[in-house]
Amino acid sequence: MRQGAPVSSLQINKEKGRVLDTNKVFNDGSGTVNIRRVYDDFLRWMPSATRTEKPMMHISLNPHPDDRLSDTDFTRLAHEYMEKMGFAEMPYLIVKHEDIDRHHVHIVALRVGTDGRCISDSNNFYRSKNICRELEKKYGLKPAEREKITPDMPIRKVDPSGDIKRQVANTVKMVGMRYKFQTIGEYNAILSLYNVRCEQTDGRVNGREYHGLVYFATDDSGRTIATPFKASRLGKFASRTAIDGRFERAKDKIDIAPTKRKVTNVLAIAADKSDFIAKLKERNIDVVLRYTDEGRIYGVTFIDHESMTVLNGSRLGKEFSANAINERFNNPANANTDTPDVVVPIVAPTIEPTPENTHSDNTQEPDNTQKSGGQHQSQQPAVTQSSTDYGDYDFALPGLDLFQQGQSFNPDEEEFRRRMQRKKEKGRRPKF
């Protein structure tokens, strides 16, 4: 079952979403919403005293992409779902999203009655699943199968015209299953090949300390193309705990020798930076270079698709660090005059990993899957509800504006940053 994000007035009023209907909440019929007015309406139904910490709930209903429902069908479906779940008398808001091929609706509802009691969510997952199956049969909808993650499935770049959330989730899951990395920088290097970026978020929410991850879909230039996704929306495999666990387990599994041998051989014969990148690609290694605004290389990461390892240059040795690679290719005395100032990537490879590579690091975090015929698969009803997300009644994407990005420097980049900072400070000293 899929989880969606709470709906914001920005998402609704800028044509990413449209209000279909409401229940006991103001609706002027325009398809847009005054989020403050809706917020006030919810407050009016809130009891003056309740022990429920999270009085709001969020549900996402996702029919199969082949099922094209009318607005009337979606509205009827949503109301019937809420009635069967026991929320017929509660205020709620139904919003339709059409920003991806899979049209779907979001429902934001109050889950606390006027007597202060919370509507029971006992066995919500199973109740919801059974209700979805009933609605599939009643409305003749297709049962939707969750995409199978198989050992031979290639990892592809995010396609902006498709279901971005599903693509990001699949990329994160497959990268985590197949590759070994030890820092957030190395993790981002492999994700960047497929137009995904990860950022750490640290802060406090409702008085509780929070350490999480947020994922972004990007274009080939690294610009964000969609609303970011909290790790919790993608699955446990994308969480900070899961990724930190992969960092730890990778330490005992990585052998740098095969990668170092290949990079050493190529570095010895490369005519220039472009030749270096091309020859490494012939050996199934991608290199991600990071530049300052002045064109200096301050970060280098090697991605070996044979050994399934991601390694910052400094892990291979000092001669492969960002400083050394910059001197080798960007120093005017050594660089080829035809060498471009900026290396623009690196085409994402179509990887067909061996089973040994795909299962070595995936035993720690089980999915909600069932084995069938030797492959992992799980059935998902056509009308799917990801799991109810009981969030605060702030309909903005929760928490993103409260957090500050955490640090993600590797030693090479940190040393370079500090050196440049010292130079700037030295330049600002008054001269006597």
Residue 204, amino acid:
R
- Tell me if 341 is assigned to some domain: no
Assess whether 221 and 357 both reside in one domain: yes
- Tell me if 430 is assigned to some domain: no
Indicate the number of domains in the chain.
3
Assess whether 217 and 117 both reside in one domain: no
Digit-coded pLDDT (tens) for 264-309? 999 999 999 999 999 999 999 999 999 998 899 999 999 999 999 9
Assess whether 297 and 198 both reside in one domain: no
DSSP string, 150-175: -TTPPP----TTS-HHHHHHHHHHHH
Question: What share of the chain in percent tops pLDDT 90?
Answer: 39
Assess whether 319 and 193 both reside in one domain: no
- Tell me if 419 is assigned to some domain: no
What does the pLDDT read at residue 428?
Answer: 61
Assess whether 97 and 55 both reside in one domain: yes
Highest mean pLDDT among 92-101, 354-363, 387-396, 401-410: 92-101
Assess whether 142 and 174 both reside in one domain: no
- Tell me if 245 is assigned to some domain: yes
Assess whether 53 and 109 both reside in one domain: yes
Mean pLDDT for the stretch of residues 381-386: 43
Taking alpha carbons only, the member of 73, 98, 151, 105 closest to residue 2 is 105
What does the pLDDT read at residue 351?
Answer: 44
Digit-coded pLDDT (tens) for 159-198? 988 889 889 999 999 999 999 999 999 999 999 999 999 9
What does the pLDDT read at residue 338?
Answer: 41
Q: What pairing do the DSSP bridges indicate for beta strands 370-372 and 309-312?
A: unpaired
Mean pLDDT for the stretch of residues 401-420: 45
Query: Which of 146, 174, 204 is where one domain is finished?
Result: 146
- End-to-end CA distance of the chain, in Å? 69
Residue 409, amino acid:
F
What does the pLDDT read at residue 177?
Answer: 93
Query: What band does 416 get if pLDDT is binned at 50, 70 and 90?
Result: low
Digit-coded pLDDT (tens) for 65-109? 778 788 999 999 999 999 999 899 899 999 988 755 567 888 988
- Tell me if 132 is assigned to some domain: yes
Assess whether 14 and 68 both reside in one domain: yes
Looking at per-residue confidence, does 293 or 421 come out higher?
293
Mean pLDDT for the stretch of residues 408-425: 57
Assess whether 31 and 177 both reside in one domain: no
Assess whether 214 and 272 both reside in one domain: no
Question: CA 398, CA 337: separation in Å to the nearest integer?
Answer: 50
Structural element, H or E, at residue 124: helix 124-139
What does the pLDDT read at residue 6?
Answer: 39
96: number of Cβ within 10 Å:
21
Asked if the model's pLDDT at residue 255 lies above 80, the reply is yes
271: number of Cβ within 10 Å:
12
Question: What share of the chain in percent tops pLDDT 70?
Answer: 69
Distances from the Cα of 95 to the Cα of 5, 36, 59, angstroms: 12, 16, 11
What does the pLDDT read at residue 181?
Answer: 97
Asked if the model's pLDDT at residue 410 lies above 50, the reply is no
- Tell me if 125 is assigned to some domain: yes
Mean pLDDT for the stretch of residues 4-17: 46
Assess whether 179 and 39 both reside in one domain: no
- Tell me if 50 is assigned to some domain: yes
Report CA dihedral (184, 154, 264, 262) to the nearest 10 degrees: 140
Query: What band does 413 get if pLDDT is binned at 50, 70 and 90?
Result: low
- Tell me if 219 is assigned to some domain: yes
CA 307 to chain centre: 25
Asked if the model's pLDDT at residue 345 lies above 50, the reply is no
What does the pLDDT read at residue 153?
Answer: 86
DSSP string, 229-286: EEHHHH-GGGSHHHHHHHHHHHHTT---HHHHHHHHHHHHH--SHHHHHHHHHHTTEE
Mean pLDDT for the stretch of residues 412-421: 60
- Does this model's pTM top 0.85? no
Per-chain mean pLDDT for the chain: 76
Query: What band does 347 get if pLDDT is binned at 50, 70 and 90?
Result: very low
Taking alpha carbons only, the member of 183, 190, 198 closest to residue 405 is 198
User: 98 lies in which domain range?
Assistant: 9-146
Assess whether 246 and 265 both reside in one domain: no
